[in-house]
Amino acid sequence: MKDGFIKVAAATPKIRVADCEYNAGEIVRLCREAASLGVKILVFPELCVTGYTCGDLFLQDTLIDAAMSALIRIADETRDLDMLIAVGCPVRDSRMGKLYNCAAILNRGKLLGFHPKMNIPNYGEFYEQRWFNAGGDGWTGDVNFPDRRFEGLICADGCFYCRDCPDLAVGVEICEDLWAADPPSTGLARTGASVILNLSASNELVGKVAYRRELVKNQSARLHCAYIYADAGEGESTTDLVFAGHNMIAENGTILAESRFKTGLTVSEIDIQRLMYDRRRNTTFTPKKLADGFWRAAFDLNITETALTRIVAKNPFVPASRDERTERCGEIFAIQTQGLKKRMEHIGAKKLVVGVSGGLDSTLAMLVSSMAVRQLGLSSGALVAVTMPCFGTTRRTKSNAMVLAEKLGAELRVVDITASVRQHFTDIGHDENDHSVTYENAQARERTQVIMDIANSLGGIVVGTGDLSELALGWATYNGDHMSMYGVNAGVPKTLVRYVVGWYADTCDDPGLSGVLNDILATPVSPELLPAENGEISQKTEDLVGPYELHDFFLYYFVRWGMNPAKIYRLAKYAFAGTYDDATILKWLRTFVHRFFTQQFKRSCLPDGPKVGSVALSPRGDWRMPSDAVSTAWLDELENLT
């Protein structure tokens, strides 16, 4: 399985109620269409061979026999398709004569077995207990077909697994099973199923679509699985109800693809490797011992690299929806503020000291500090902003830092460190014209010394400004801007810092403050440690270390999902097509891997700071890695890519 991706689909055929021969033709047609798209797992709705709305016709042998003949036709006409197919049909148990609402599972013309519906509704417009019996744990039944090649087993407690990919195991439930207090998928997932198929016929009511969507999303999140939901639609009887074909493909709490009020295919790709990684890292997802009689059937699929159609966001830390983004920014800001406020209360600090540069990170730290001071009922003077111009400081950034402090009512201190840094160069014998790392780091460490000592003199603490992206890359001076007494931005990646500051600018109700924040947002990211050129910033971080949007993309998939570099590269090429060429992506991915490994020693002694999202690098609770870990295997993988 290339990169863990497998193309899947939910299908809603346009059927005729009780016309099994016609319905079989439509099902085969959609199977062939799906095969042409590279689909490997295809799910049809509940009872789609007959139609869900047959009513008392389900008790007629004529309909049941027609359904079995149609199923044989579907199997025969899809034997050349490399696909696992789930089709809904009524099945009669040959031993007891009882009728079951089943999913028939087909693979390359073979019937692997039937899975019966476990929870039969006894209410509403379709009182299914009038016609169908419920399957039970450990219960099995036999089916005799007109064609003995397709004799099969009805089994309520089992799953289907791929011979060539053990991680790809498929469990089945039918419509109402998902609504149950303890859905069958819960047990199936804990016994190994990574993909759950739901064959459904769920009628439409006002408000039901949102409830159904949340059920699918939440179940896939709880079980760290993929969930493919195929719903009945056009062609079902509308005597009393309407069916909308609400098809969904979900993966670990995210809807990958969705359609409604149309027939045909809903297609996307699920990532089995990603799901298995999440199950490994989540110890609350515990395996379940296989029950006696647990039944497993094997299927065959030739899974090669599949073309991607699923959405892969360029900025995975940033919600695509404006409303979600606004809510997320507010949450992050509240978490940062609460963390800093608690730290001040705990140690009895009366002052907060922030080194302000006119850049994004120190701006966010200032905004959070200002809010914490206000929530504690302290005067705005409890916030002390210190700007420390030196060789690379430009008029624009210095002015913005000063205006920001003024607008927030902070006490502003300007400490020009040029003379002290020059004295330090003399003390250590460094030539000022040598703009090496010593030249840069001496300034960063002098600034840290200044604000630390000011904080001591005021009985306050230094609020750190470094963000999550800088920590990942080690883009900080050790014991310089790397150090503080509380790092409020430690859990916020650079791409998200920009949005949080923008959110504050949009919601602060102060045109002057909003103006300076927007100008800071428009300023190139820079440590300003090299001399300016014609009054402009000469040292741009992203020219040196690479675009932060790329590094945040790499960070998300490397830490959150444990992806190998080749897979990250493939996803980055797909997400950033038209923005960066392949060579540029590969260059900065190599940089990311190299720096992530070599700079771990800086993360091993981080100051405290609040976690705000699922990706964090605190050595105390989130990322434990030896400082001497070697990146050879990861970099070697990239050497074979072009």
Mean pLDDT of 195-223: 92
Q: What are phi and psi of 144, to 5 degrees?
A: -105, 115
Question: Is 98 a domain residue?
Answer: yes
Q: Which of 292, 309, 331 is the last residue of a domain?
A: 292
CB 203 within 8 A of CB 241: yes
Q: 526-529: which pairs have CB atoms within 8 A and are 24 or more residues apart?
A: 526/359, 526/392, 526/397, 527/392, 527/440, 527/444, 527/481, 528/357, 528/359, 528/390, 528/392, 528/393, 528/394, 528/397, 529/390, 529/391, 529/392, 529/439, 529/440, 529/443, 529/444
Sign of CA pseudo-dihedral 64, 69, 74, 80 = positive
For residue 78, the SS3 value is coil
Same domain, yes or no, for 284 and 351? no
The DSSP-derived string for 295-308 is EEEEE---------
288 plus 344 within the same structural domain: no
Strand, coil or helix: what is 437? helix
Quick one: 273 and 327 in the same domain?
A: no
| Model pLDDT, residue 540 | 64
246 and 379 fall within a common domain: no
Chain mean position to CA 595: 24
Give the model's confidence band at 13: pLDDT under 50 very low, under 70 low, under 90 confident, else very high: very high
Average pLDDT of the residues of the chain: 90
Q: How far apart are CA 478 and CA 601, in angstroms?
A: 9
- The reply to whether 336 and 208 lie within a common domain is no
What pLDDT band is residue 602 in, cutting at 50, 70 and 90? very high
Contact of 454 with 413, CB cutoff 8 Å: yes
What is the distance between the terminal CA atoms of the chain, rounded to a whole angstrom? 20
In a domain, 193, yes or no: yes
Question: Would you state the pLDDT for residue 146?
Answer: 54
* Residue located via tokens 């863990």: 4
Given a contact cutoff of 8 angstroms between Cβ atoms, the answer to whether 558 and 596 are in contact is: yes
Q: Tell me the C-alpha distance between 263 and 234, whole Å.
A: 7
Q: Identify the domain containing residue 582 by its residue range.
A: 322-639
Q: How far apart are CA 589 and CA 607, in angstroms?
A: 27
Helix (H) or strand (E) holding 6, with range, is: strand 5-12
Evaluate whether 52 touches 23 at the Cβ level (below 8 Å): no
> Which of the four pLDDT bands, split at 50, 70 and 90, describes residue 303?
confident
Q: Which residue has the tokens 């990706």?
A: 615
Q: What is the DSSP letter of 428?
A: H
Q: Give domain status of residue 304, yes or no.
A: no
pLDDT over 80 at 152, yes or no = no
Radius of gyration of the chain (CA): 30
- What is the per-residue pLDDT across 479-525, written as a single tens digit (0 to 9) for each? 999 999 999 999 999 999 999 999 999 999 899 999 999 999 988 76
Looking at the structure, do residues 142 and 20 belong to the same domain, yes or no? yes
> 242: number of CA atoms within 13 Å, CB side?
10
**In CATH, what number is assigned to the domain containing residue 40?**
3.60.110.10
Which has the closest alpha carbon to 222: 288, 273, 285, 280?
285
* Residue 236: strand pairing partners: 234
Q: Where are the beta strands (DSSP E) in 215-300?
A: 226-231, 247-251, 254-259, 264-271, 295-299
Q: For residue 141, what are the contacts with CB-CB under 8 A and spacing of at least 6?
A: 93, 94, 95, 96, 98, 100, 116, 153, 154
Position 333 scores a pLDDT of 97
CATH number at residue 472: 3.40.50.620
Structure tokens that stand for 476 in this block: 């900080």
Q: Looking at the domain assignment, is residue 313 inside a domain?
A: no
Residue 115 has pLDDT above 70, yes or no: yes
For residues 281 and 392, membership in a common domain is answered with no
Judgement on whether residues 476 and 374 belong to the same structural domain of the protein: yes
Banded pLDDT at 547 (limits 50, 70, 90): very high
Instruction: Considering only residues 152 and 104, tell me which one the structure prediction assigns the higher pLDDT.
Output: 104
Largest CA distance in the chain: 100
Contact at 8 Å (CB) between 42 and 27?
no
Distance CA 266, CA 34 (A): 10
Closest by CA position to 52, among listed 155, 153, 121, 150: 121
Tokens in use for 285?
């997802």
Lowest-pLDDT range of 106-110, 156-160, 360-364, 535-539 = 535-539
Q: What does the pLDDT average to over 262-288?
A: 91
Pairing of strands 226-231, 195-200: parallel
Per-residue confidence (pLDDT) for residue 126, from 0 to 100 = 63
CB 446 within 8 A of CB 417: yes
pLDDT digits (tens, 9 = 90+) for 468-481: 999 999 999 999 99
**287 plus 326 within the same structural domain:** no
User: Is there a domain that residue 254 lies in?
Assistant: yes
**What phi and psi, each to the nearest 5 degrees, are found at residue 141?**
-140, 165
Q: Are strands 411-414 and 383-387 parallel, antiparallel or unpaired?
A: parallel
DSSP 485-540: SEETTTT--HHHHHHHHHHHHHHS--HHHHHHHHHHHTSPP----S--BTTB----
Which has the closest alpha carbon to 334: 520, 503, 555, 518?
503
Contact assessment for residue 92 and residue 99, using Cβ atoms and an 8 Å cutoff: yes
pTM: 0.89
Residue 299 located in a structural domain = no
Which residue has tokens 């209360």? 345
Q: Which residue has the tokens 């540029």?
A: 584
In this structure, are 265 and 386 located in the same domain?
no
CB contact at 8 A, 469 and 548: yes
The catalytic site residues sit at: 46, 117, 175
CA angle 563, 564, 569 (to 5 degrees): 95
- In a shared domain, residues 275 and 327: no
For residues 152 and 111, the answer to whether their CB atoms sit within 8 Å is yes
The percentage of residues in the chain with a pLDDT greater than 70, rounded to a whole number, is 92
pLDDT of 15 > 60? The answer is yes
Cα–Cα distance, 382 to 368 (Å, whole number): 13
Asked whether residue 316 is assigned to any structural domain, the reply reads no
Domain membership flag for residue 310? no
Total domains, the chain: 2
Structure tokens at 293: 């009689």
Same domain, 263 and 348: no
How high is the pLDDT of residue 607? 95
Looking at 137-141, 259-263, 304-308, which range is the least confident one? Answer: 137-141
